[in-house]
Amino acid sequence: MTESSKPKASETAEATGTTETAQASETTETTETATSKAPAANAGDAGDATDGAKAEAKAEANADAKAGGAGRPAPSRRALLGWGGAGLALGAAAAGGTAAALRVGSDVSPSASTGDAVPFDGAHQAGISTPVQDRLHFASFDVTTTDRAALVKLLQEWTAAARAMTAGHEVGAGAISANEELPPDDTGEALGLKPSRLTLTFGVGPGLFEKDGKDRFGLKARRPKALVDLPAFPGDNLDAARSGGDLCVQACADDPQVAVHAIRNLARIGMGRVAIRWSQLGFGKTSSTTPDAQTPRNMMGFKDGTRNIAGDDTARLDKHVWVGQKDGPDWMVGGSYLVARRIRMHIETWDRTSLTEQEDVFGRDKSEGAAVGKQREHDEPLLKAMKPDAHVRLAHPDSNNGVTILRRGYSFTDGTDGLGRLDAGLFFIAYQRDVRDGFIPLQTRLSRSDALNEYIQHVGSAVFAVPPGVRDKGDWWGKALFA
Ligand SMILES: C=CC1=C(C)c2cc3[nH]c(cc4nc(cc5[nH]c(cc1n2)c(C)c5CCC(=O)O)C(CCC(=O)O)=C4C)c(C)c3C=C
Ligand SMILES: [Fe+2]
């Protein structure tokens, strides 16, 4: 979050009204104990801030024409059917095809090989509950144009390009265009690469609705109440250059070059209308939406994502992730809210910490990932058996009035910091139905008392409203917002 976007204490209290409620009506004794026994280093700064706080046809035709030629191969029919996309699954079902068993919508998390294409259209944007890919390129954009029509045109162009790239096609007239006097529409580094399960997930930040007191695009009245500026949390050391943004695109793929190609091409299309504010590369997914798969490990060596929401758990997704009809606004129904935090790990300190201390910090063992006193990774945790300030004890829904988020983060290493220390950590991404009932109360508790705080620091922050999925070729990213 930029300094200027940080809310005043009074504003924050209002914005985060649910936080106090969540804490006051604590249902378990576990967390109160945890808070009172917080390590001194965290206890000192805990409280203050948080208490006060609370060309579409052209592109397709061209890409189709190029498939099998100089361009990237078109994904096979089987590959597309295998993903259960809304229209495709219905079509296949009607035809008695093999995909008849797959459900409509992007809640479905069928397994698929890593080269396949993920359907772009759907009730929800892909890249939230769909299976997590290995690589990330996340980009936050500042809108530089002041012209609403230019912004709308950009979003239409972005949508067409995103649809093409996620299907494994080239952008526009492609990388080897007919007119050699012009720069090609596609930058070309993904030629010959498979779709790689590329998903592009689009969001809008608070600044699109209002910036410096100005209603830039006539959208101020359409800002969702749930899209609050995040309060300052104890221990935050946020870099404005790595925080905020008017628009975001989360590109996930199993091939890093495919993810990077996607962001690069969207940025290229946006020239003169948007500029990349910051971006983050990620590897080694640190959360999964497919619990049957092996749980990935984070840079601290621990299994991460054990108790995440599964991509096929529609009941929990509806309850905790998707914006419902009653929540509003209309343009967000079926969407979600994304919180991104660049969390640096003090890796060198962690690596000199005993295994016992490491396991105490999380409340899980390093080998199996089982909760304290339990044998297996997926055994139900007994919170009282953990240290009061254990990360899992504090983050568990039972310690937070049921607060539950969908985590979708990635590890990062961005070289060294000039002092011989790795600039490494977790690029934390969480999706929730309402930030005020999700990330904010959770981070309020964690920032005050988490034993993990000794080994981490939050250095970047952003929040975005992620609209529902694009329904068909007449639809585009943000269409309902601008309607
Ligand atoms: C505000 C929310 C959270 C932040 C920030 C966060 C940072 C963070 N977490 C890990 C490692 C692990 N987290 C684990 C569980 C877990 N973490 C959160 C929330 C935040 N984590 C939740 C809600 C949970 C699940 C709690 C539960 O239901 O039991 C785990 C354990 C395995 C798992 O369930 O995923 C690990 C490991 C790091 C390293 C980190 C910051 C760098
Ligand atoms: Fe965590």
**CB of residue 363 inside a 6 A radius of ligand 1:** no
Mutational test site, ligand 1, from 304, 350, 458, max ligand atoms within 8 Å of CB: 304
Q: Among 60-69, 262-271, 362-371, which is the least confidently predicted range?
A: 60-69
In terms of Cα–Cα distance, which of 276, 227, 439, 435 is closest to 343?
A: 439
Ligand 1 pocket residue status of 133, Cβ below 6 Å = no
Q: Decide: 209 in ligand 1 pocket, CB within 6 A.
A: no
Q: Is the pLDDT of residue 46 over 90?
A: no
For ligand 1, mutation pick of 380, 382, 392, 405 (most atoms within 8 Å of CB): 392
452: Cα separation from own chain's centroid? 22
Helices and strands (DSSP H and E) totals, the chain = 16, 9
Q: Quick: pLDDT tens for 96-108.
A: 232 322 212 333 3
**Cβ of 456 less than 6 Å from ligand 1:** yes
Q: What is the number of alpha carbons within 13 Å of residue 141 lying toward its C-beta?
A: 28
Atom of ligand 1 nearest to the CA of 456: 42
The reported pTM is 0.80
Average pLDDT, rounded, for the chain? 82
**Nearest-angstrom CA–CA distance, 43 and 60:** 57
- What pLDDT score was predicted for residue 170? 97
Q: What is the pLDDT of residue 113?
A: 64
Report whether pLDDT(34) > 80.
Answer: no
Share of the chain above pLDDT 70, in %: 77
Q: What average pLDDT does the segment 426-444 reach? A: 98
Q: What is the pLDDT of residues 82-126, one digit of tens each?
A: 222 333 333 333 332 323 222 123 333 344 567 899 999 999 999
* Cβ(299) – ligand 1 distance below 6 Å: no
pLDDT for res 289: 80
Alpha carbon of 89 to ligand 2 centroid (Å): 35
Which amino acid, 305?
Answer: G
> Which protein residue's CA is at the shortest distance from atom 6 of ligand 1?
428
Residue with CA nearest ligand 1 atom 27: 396
Q: What pLDDT, on the 0 to 100 scale, is given for residue 291?
A: 79
Place of tokens 């191969």: 73
**Residue 320, ligand 1, Cβ within 6 A:** no
In total, the chain counts a number of residues equal to: 483
Q: How confident is residue 35, by pLDDT bands cut at 50, 70 and 90? A: very low
User: Across residues 237-241, what is the average pLDDT?
Assistant: 98
Q: What is the pLDDT of residues 320-332, one digit of tens each?
A: 999 999 999 999 9
**Measured between alpha carbons, how far is residue 59 from residues 162, 316, 455, 480 in Å?**
11, 38, 48, 23
**Annotated domain spans of the chain:** 1-74+123-471+478-483
Q: Give the β-pairing of 135-143 and 274-285.
A: antiparallel
